[in-house]
A and B are shown apart, each in its own frame.
Chain A
């Protein structure tokens, strides 16, 4: 398995602002992902964070709203831009190790 940390663990933000979430892994991994989990819902994949190239976004998610950085094999950031209350959710990063996904502890975001 991997040890994955996320910062911040939670935040309360004002509408129209942006928040950057950090994800750090204790080992080098090729595949890192960002998910959103809204209350009472399952996980929805936002994008795959690719090291050295642009992230690959899933249908319904765009780079302008969720810019992602992946500067190396142990770190990634997800920014939630121009937030609205509908962005209130838990955001989780995950890594693929031997075809199994392991998740970070999540960032609980509330947008007022």
Chain B
């Protein structure tokens, strides 16, 4: 089983809609979680960290479910500029390597 798994998509969503995708992780010792965004032919950029209590940043909400070992990302009122690949990341502790999922492709349609 892969350490971090994501639905590769693509998710084709009309502009203004709400979209959510999940990411599962296999290592129950994972401590830190993040969502990165990667635009085509660009490097990954940190979108947001994921905290145990869940956190929100504008239109973006991240949730962590430790019991089921998944994290989620919700995007409200989606914009054309949200089109990208979203990478899920998990790591065990500060000194451990982080594991990237393969990413979920999101296309926002006009």
- Give CA–CA (A108, B43) in the complex, Å: 11
Known A42-B102, A42-B103: A100·B97 in contact at CB below 8 Å: no
Is B66 located at the chain interface by the 8 A CB criterion?
no
Return A5 CB to nearest CB of chain B, in Å: 11
Size band of the A side of the interface? 10 to 19
Residues of A within 8 A of B34 (CB): 100
Contact of B43 among A42, A92, A100 (CB under 8 A): A92
Return B84 CB to nearest CB of chain A, in Å: 14
Is B42 located at the chain interface by the 8 A CB criterion?
yes
- Give CA–CA (A105, B103) in the complex, Å: 18
Is A53 located at the chain interface by the 8 A CB criterion?
no
> Judging by beta carbons under 8 Å apart, are A99 and B43 in contact?
no
Contact of B46 among A100, A105, A106 (CB under 8 A): A100
Size band of the B side of the interface? 10 to 19
Chain A binding surface SS class: strand
Return B11 CB to nearest CB of chain A, in Å: 16
Is A45 located at the chain interface by the 8 A CB criterion?
yes
Residues of B within 8 A of A3 (CB): none
Is B62 located at the chain interface by the 8 A CB criterion?
no
- Give CA–CA (A8, B10) in the complex, Å: 31
Is A101 located at the chain interface by the 8 A CB criterion?
yes
> Judging by beta carbons under 8 Å apart, are B44 and A43 in contact?
yes
Residues of B within 8 A of A99 (CB): 32, 94
Find the A residue at minimum CB distance from B95. Answer: A31
Per-residue CB contact flags for chain A residues 15-57 toward chain B (1 = under 8 Å, else 0) read 0000000000000000001000000011101001000000000
**A residues lining the B interface (CB < 8 Å):** 1, 33, 41-43, 45, 48, 58, 92, 99-106, 108
In the A-B complex, the 8 residue pairs with the closest CB atoms: A103-B43, A42-B102, A43-B100, A42-B100, A106-B43, A105-B43, A103-B44, A99-B94
